[in-house]
């Protein structure tokens, strides 16, 4: 991997400003909320493009949180730089997802064991075939054990990381028009970042996990508000933070 001096065009943080483990929500306001409500002695280390980044401690463990923005190109940039330029070892995505099966309910947690995708992101690695983006097992194992011991409502399984939100010819969200195709393959929920994060982690020899809360449901039509997505997914936030204390 090519090394680059810090800061980068997308991150004003200095070389040692990030902890070894970074929680990465898509929403900058969720990053701010996590820092203000969970981290002790936190400081802001990045504000470039409003991808707010903070570093502090949680139960005595150094932890950072930084927004990834929406979509695989965005998390692709930020996770690549954190892994390869800032010496981050673990990135835990804490995001929202749309439930795609009756096996998951609104506000359930999905631990992304794998991430299917309709993206061409993997083409950048010039592989002679397809690549299966999967979570790092130590992170997944820790998250599952902690979720079980806390009595959380959670599922472990496949996510769909979609490059598109709207499908041109129908004018509908892409996951609604193709819902039945992914359902028959057992995919639990759809989001837009995990596959790229998993691929960057694999290429960098680092660790990644997506922990997502079902923020809306494509079968029942239930949905949370934007404010609820920013501030009320406490079980997901605390689960990810507790995973960080084990690393």
Cβ-contact 64, 54 below 8 angstroms: yes
pLDDT digits (tens, 9 = 90+) for 37-67: 999 999 999 999 999 999 999 999 999 999 9
Confidence bin at 34 (pLDDT 50/70/90): very high
Assess whether 163 carries a catalytic annotation: no
Q: What is the pLDDT of residues 182-201, one digit of tens each?
A: 999 999 999 999 999 999 99
Is the pLDDT score of 2 beyond 60?
Answer: no
Is the pLDDT at 240 greater than 60, yes or no? yes
Confidence of residue 19 (pLDDT cuts 50, 70, 90): very high
- CA dihedral for 224, 121, 200, 136, sign (positive or negative): positive
What are the backbone dihedrals phi and psi of residue 22, each rounded to the nearest 5 degrees, phi first?
A: -120, 125
* Angstrom distance (rounded) from CA 10 to CA 93: 19
Residue 69 contacts residue 46 (beta carbons within 8 Å): no
Mean pLDDT for 122-149 is: 97
- Does residue 1 or residue 177 have the better pLDDT? 177
For the cut 90, the answer to whether the pLDDT of residue 176 exceeds it is no
What the chain holds in terms of domains, given with CATH numbers, is 21-244 (3.40.50.1580)
- What is the 3-state composition of the chain as percent helix, strand, coil, each rounded to the nearest 5? 35, 30, 40
CB 193 within 8 A of CB 222: no
Percent of the chain with pLDDT over 70: 94
What tokens appear for 54 in the block?
């903070």
Q: What is the mean pLDDT of the chain?
A: 94
């Amino acid at each position: 991997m090519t090394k680059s001096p810090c800061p980068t065009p997308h991150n004003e943080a200095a070389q040692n400003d990030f902890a070894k483990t970074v929680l990465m929500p898509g929403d900058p306001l969720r990053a701010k909320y996590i820092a203000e409500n969970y981290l002790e002695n936190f400081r802001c280390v990045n504000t470039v493009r409003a991808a707010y980044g903070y570093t502090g401690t949680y139960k005595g463990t150094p932890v950072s949180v930084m927004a990834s923005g929406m979509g695989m190109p965005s998390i692709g940039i930020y996770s690549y730089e954190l892994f390869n330029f800032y010496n981050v070892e673990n990135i835990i995505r804490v995001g929202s997802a749309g439930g795609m099966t009756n096996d998951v309910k609104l506000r359930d947690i999905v631990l992304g064991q794998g991430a299917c995708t309709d993206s061409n992101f993997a083409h950048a690695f010039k592989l002679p075939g397809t690549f299966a983006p999967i979570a790092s097992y130590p992170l997944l194992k820790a998250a599952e054990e902690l979720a079980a011991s806390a009595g959380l409502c959670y599922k472990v399984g496949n996510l769909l990381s979609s490059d598109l939100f709207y499908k041109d010819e129908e004018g509908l969200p892409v996951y609604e028009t193709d819902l039945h195709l992914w359902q028959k393959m057992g995919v639990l929920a759809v989001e837009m970042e995990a596959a790229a994060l998993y691929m960057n982690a694999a290429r960098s020899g680092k660790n990644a996990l997506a922990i997502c809360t079902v923020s809306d449901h494509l079968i029942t039509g239930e949905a949370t508000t934007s404010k609820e997505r920013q501030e009320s997914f406490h079980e997901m936030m605390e689960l990810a933070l507790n995973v960080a204390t084990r690393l």
